[in-house]
């Protein structure tokens, strides 16, 4: 929860929610988080890859009418499938909200663990436990980073 608070502070989540509720008095924000979001071409599995480098970083809000994240607005009535996938890694736990719409758009939103998403009663979420898969690009970047760290350590020890 500490990491979530830090990330929400960086994104200004509370202030964005307050501003939204003032400008939209007929909508109530039920859950909100700092998130990274991508649009995919199909119901892709969740994995590290180049598409997350340019992902949209914004506050993801669930209201009683829609899901909003930056430039994207998804009407709740247009959602055909929605999954909340809990992810655990060495850096902590997170969750990915996967949305498929009736007009065949696919979204993935990565965020910190937030019980507000789990406990909300507005949309029928399918809950999953999952792991994030690694793309070839992601593996190569990690190997390069590891090689650079090992080289740096070698230089420190030898010198």
Residue 20 pLDDT greater than 90, yes or no: yes
Q: Between residues 17 and 127, which one has the greater pLDDT?
A: 17
Q: Where are the domains of the chain?
A: 2-133
Residues 6 or more apart whose CB falls under 8 angstroms from that of 45 comprise 133
- Per residue in 129-142, pLDDT (tens digit) is 766 666 566 667 77
Given a contact cutoff of 8 angstroms between Cβ atoms, the answer to whether 45 and 133 are in contact is yes
With a cut of 80, say whether residue 104 has pLDDT above it: yes
The H or E element that residue 155 is part of is helix 136-158
Nearest residue to 137 (alpha-carbon basis) of 50, 58, 61, 36? 50
Q: Which fold has domain 2-133?
A: PH-domain like (2.30.29)
Tens digit of pLDDT for each residue in 73-84?
A: 999 999 999 999
- The 3-state secondary structure of 65-81 reads CEEEECCEEEEHHHEEE
At 135 the pLDDT is 57
The C-alpha atoms of residue 84 and residue 104 are separated, in whole angstroms, by 18
Are 60 and 33 spatial neighbours (Cβ–Cβ below 8 Å)? yes
Q: What is the pTM of this model?
A: 0.74
């Amino acid at each position: 929860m500490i990491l979530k608070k830090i990330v929400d502070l960086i994104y200004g989540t509370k202030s964005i929610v307050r501003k939204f509720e003032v400008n939209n008095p007929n909508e109530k924000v039920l859950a909100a988080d700092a998130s990274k979001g991508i649009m995919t071409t199909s119901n892709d599995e969740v994995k590290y890859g180049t598409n997350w480098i340019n992902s949209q970083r914004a506050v993801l809000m669930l209201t009683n009418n829609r899901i909003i994240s930056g430039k994207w607005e998804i009407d709740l009535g247009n959602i055909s499938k929605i999954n909340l996938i809990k992810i655990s890694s060495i850096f902590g736990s997170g969750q990915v909200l996967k949305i498929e719409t009736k007009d065949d758009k696919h979204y993935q939103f990565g965020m910190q663990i937030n019980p507000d998403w789990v406990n909300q009663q507005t949309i029928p979420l399918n809950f999953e436990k999952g792991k994030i898969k690694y793309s070839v690009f992601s593996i190569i970047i990690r190997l390069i980073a590891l090689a650079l760290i090992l080289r740096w350590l070698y230089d420190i020890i030898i010198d």
